[in-house]
Structure formats: C-alpha cells, structure tokens
Amino acid sequence: MGSIANPKSKLVRGGMAILLIATLALGADAARACTSFILRTRTGGVVYGRTMEFGFPLKSAVILIPRHIALHATGPGDKPGALKWTAKYATLGLNALNMPAIIDGMNEKGLVGGALYFPDYAGYADPAKTDPARALAPWDVLTWALTNFATVAEVKAALPRIAVVGLKEAHLGLVPPLHYVLHDASGASLVVEPIGGVLKVYDNPFGVMTNAPPFDWQVTNLKNYVKISAINAPPLHIAGQTLTPIGQGSGLLGIPGDPTPPSRFVRVLAYAALAEPQADGIASVRAAEHILNNFDIPRGWVRPRAGDATQWEFTQWSTIADLTNRVFYVKTYDDQVLRRIDLKSLNLDAPNLLSAPLVPRPEAPALVLKP
C-alpha cells in the first residue's frame, strides 16, 4: 500500500461533505449499492466486510485519525458547528476525494462501521428547531461514533444526546440521504436510520445491511425466504415420478440474484449465515473476501439511464476488518490483491492525520516458475 504520510489537505473535519458534494452533483443514482455484513469465526471472533459502489471515481485513501485530534460537527452554511469533541479512540478507514474524513472504518477498540446510502427514506431533524450543541450533519455521524465509543452499547446509549439535522450542502442545496451500521468485537450490531426527524435504532442480530427500504422492512421481507439452506433440497415424489434437483445448491433455489438492495440483503444474509466458520485471522478474512466477491459490480452492469456512461455504478473498493486482531484490509476495482493495515502497528498518538493512497495496479503480479 506504500508508506503512510501526512496528507496535503486540511486537518480532519467531522464528516465527508466534499464527497457528498460530488455525489449529489451526479444525482441520487450515483450511489445505491453498498453491501455490508459480519462473519463469526470458530472461536467467536468477528470479521466485517463491506463494498463501496459509486458512479464516479472516489480517489479514496486509507487514513488514520489519531487520538486527541480536535473534531467538530458541521453547522449551517458549511460552518463549524457548536458540537465539538476530541477523538478518544484512534480510527482507521477509507476517505474519498483526498479529504481526511472516514466513510468506512474501524477504531482501536474494534468498533467498526459504515455510512450507507439511504435514498427516498432518510428524514432528518429540523436544524432550526434543534439545539446546535446536539446537532450533527448527516456526514458527521460515523466519525462521531468511531472516535468517541468502544462498543455498540456505548453508541446506542449516547444516541439520545445527539440529533442528526437536515443540513443542505451549501453549493447544491441538497441534503444527503444516509443511514449507518455499526458492529463491535463482541459481535453486537446496530442500525441507525434517520426517519421522520428522529433516529430509528435497531439491534441487528443478522449483522447485514444494504440500502433502502428501511431495516425493519428488510427483516420482514426475509419471511419470503424461510427455506434458504446450505443443504440440497430432497427429491420430490409426485404422480409416481421422482424429481431430483439439477446440480448442486438447490437449498438456495430462488434466492434473488439481482443487484437491488432488497435482493442483496437476502443474498448476503444467506452467504454470511451459511458459510462454514473459519479460524481467527486470515482464514476468516478470506472467507469474507469470497462473500464480498459475490457483490462486485463491474462498470456498465448498473446504469441509471441510457446514454450516460458518467454514472455507471461500480464497486470502487471493498473493505474487510478483523475486529479481534484490529487489522483492516482493502482491495480496489483496479487492484484485486487484498492489502492489510495493522492498526496496532501505527502511532495512534500521532500529532497529525496519517494517510496512504490506493494506487491503481491494473497489471496482475507475475507468477515466477522455477525448475
């Protein structure tokens, strides 16, 4: 991944406003297909996986927000908000557009999370009616959670103290629709969705998430797939005839294969729930990688409208986080080799942000043959 160095841009702000400017400039169709899940290891450890789909290049880098960095929410007019805090826990993750702001990451205590697109359903509190000292912009929430808390329970307990307000991005006059997933090293999972001006908070025993509709709808929809099984279906005896399944995998017959959020929710749950648990460490990381591969979207496969190649949504990068060992992995569209960053090996008290660019490597590494 290359050496880690100080970024050239300004110090951390509590959010990802510049990323969202570009997203909204391309329209709501630019980001709809993120998929996330967790796997349990044989000994109860947790591995998290997530894909990031967008319709334009994000130019992401891995960044580290060290402990003790001063952060603040975003206020109206893109000015500093009244809610301020100091990073309690160092946080590692992915940014976008060369900005020092994490959009998917893990902190030093093993709390991991991501901001996922939530179009048509996100509804925020009115900033004019909200105490500014409690207000977070939609793009502030994940940074606030990961730099402040060690567990899902701590985040859940703190949520009543904040409000996510519907701030428009100053240049475009639009409010970005987001919801949030969080998991910790114990395997606890949380979904936070701003709907109707309040935060809907769900414990997530399934550990999976995609995009819209809301989480409770996705769970209800699972009742349409109660026969999902890793075991092949038995033969059917009818009219004196015996009908046997064609090939392997009939326990998953009828599972939806399209890239819409409801279909991906069902499919990622099936893969994550039915995969055989592996040992801690790289074996479980590789299992998560195989699942992620099923949600990889190549350029041109998803097109918002005909004749516009600028918004072809594709999987720009995928991340895996080993919450037990505090190791973060990433691979990109142009470099499918999984690369690792050990959070424990970094200077978590660094005086400034640390970063490493994701340099494209389209050529496959050579395999050398020997006699």
Q: How far is Cα of residue 2 from the mean position of the Cα atoms in its chain?
A: 23
The full length of the chain comes to 371
Please tell me which residue in 34, 101, 116, 297 is annotated as part of the active site.
34
C-alpha closest to that of 192 among 223, 158, 219, 215:
215
* Alpha carbon separation from 139 to 124, 152, 223, 257, 288 (Å, rounded): 12, 19, 33, 31, 27
Catalytic annotation present for 245: no
In this structure, the strands spanning 91-94 and 189-195 are: unpaired
Q: How far, CA to CA in Å, does 119 sit from each of 80, 110, 207, 211? A: 26, 29, 21, 8
Residue 224 CB contacts under 8 Å (≥ 6 apart), including other chains = 266
Residue type, 55: G
| 6 CA to centre of own chain | 24
75 vs 320: CA distance, rounded Å: 32
Are 121 and 213 in contact by the 8 Å Cβ rule? The answer is: yes
Residues known to be catalytic = 34
